[in-house]
Amino acid sequence: MTPNVMPKNQRDNLKNRARMLVSCPDQPGIVAAVSRFLYEHGANIVQSDQYTMDPEGGLFFIRIEFDLENLDDRREQLKADFSVVAEQFQMKWSINRASRKKRLAIFVSKEDHALLELLWQWQAGDLEADIAMVISNHNDMRALVESFDIPYHLIPVTAETKAEAERRQLELVLGKVDAVVLARYMQIITPKFIEHFPNRIINIHHSFLPAFVGGKPYAQAYNRGVKIIGATAHYVTEELDGGPIIEQDVQRVSHRDNVDDLKRIGRHIERTVLARAVAWHVEDRVIVHGNKTVVFS
């Protein structure tokens, strides 16, 4: 695979594109206030999605993509101005530039399919992110990753070295990446690590959660005799396999499929689901609310 790959999507036309995410208690006038604010600042709304959890006193979520001339120079002022509107409506909010791609660290163990799909989509220009590094407890995928000119860090993990391994991982990623992707990384992430990346660690679990929490989900699925298997991408929280679900997908299986067949079929679902979840995350399409997600896909 040639190392000097350049994403096909040149992003030039996106240099003035911004994405605003807002959540706040619902009340009349929010959309009017936000859209008037943007209009008066000369922005053009390109795309807007909104969702009200319950018209009567529930929560309001909105995602707006807008174009603004000279976005780079004006964004700090824009944010300062918007904080006035935000305060009035008790908003949690963010405004991100589309041109400023999120940096990812990908954690893997020995299985390559989830990583390969991310690399392939990144190379094809379909994943709007910078893959800053790959970290693994094994050396198996070094050659593959380095052929993409992406740094590969081997950090072995044993029961004794787990704390030290985590210290080294944090040293590598803190301040260097925006999010961590666990692409079939078969180690538990500690609460200490998680608190540095709240709702910014994406894991792929190889079952249709909440069915088959924990280890060996394909063996569990085989033993239960299910007719459909699935995979789940979710944000990592302290509760094992219990964090907010971003995306799930499934595929039909039959009595003819043994555990190895389920794994093979499942690999395809896992890589597809994880890639979709990561794409939505880096495109600012996901808002976490409690233990659930609002996804403006």
Closest approach of a second copy to the CB of residue 85, in Å: 13
Q: Where are the beta strands (DSSP E) in 53-128?
A: 59-67, 92-97, 102-108
Give strand pairing partners of 205. 232
219 binds a second copy (CB under 8 A): no
Among the candidate windows 88-96, 98-106, 120-128, 163-171, which touches a second copy by CB under 8 A?
120-128
Query: How many whole angstroms separate alpha carbon 297 and alpha carbon 50?
Result: 11
Catalytic residue among 178, 241, 257, 284: 241
Q: Quick one: three-class SS letters along 5-37?
A: CCCCCCCHHHCCEEEEEEEEECCCCHHHHHHHH
Stretch that binds a second copy, among 88-96, 97-105, 154-162, 285-293 (CB under 8 A): 285-293
CB half-sphere exposure, 186, CA atoms < 13 A: 12
137 binds a second copy (CB under 8 A): no
| CA distance linking residue 81 with residue 77, whole number of Å | 6
CB of 173 to a second copy, least distance (A): 25
Q: Say whether residue 92 binds a second copy (CB under 8 A).
A: no
Q: State both tokens at 188.
A: 């538990």
Candidate residues 108, 135, 248, 283; the one interacting with a second copy per rule CB under 8 A: 248
Say whether residue 48 binds a second copy (CB under 8 A): yes
Q: Shortest Cβ distance from residue 24 to a second copy (Å)?
A: 14
Candidates 28-36, 98-106, 157-165, 168-176: pick the segment binding a second copy (CB under 8 A): 28-36
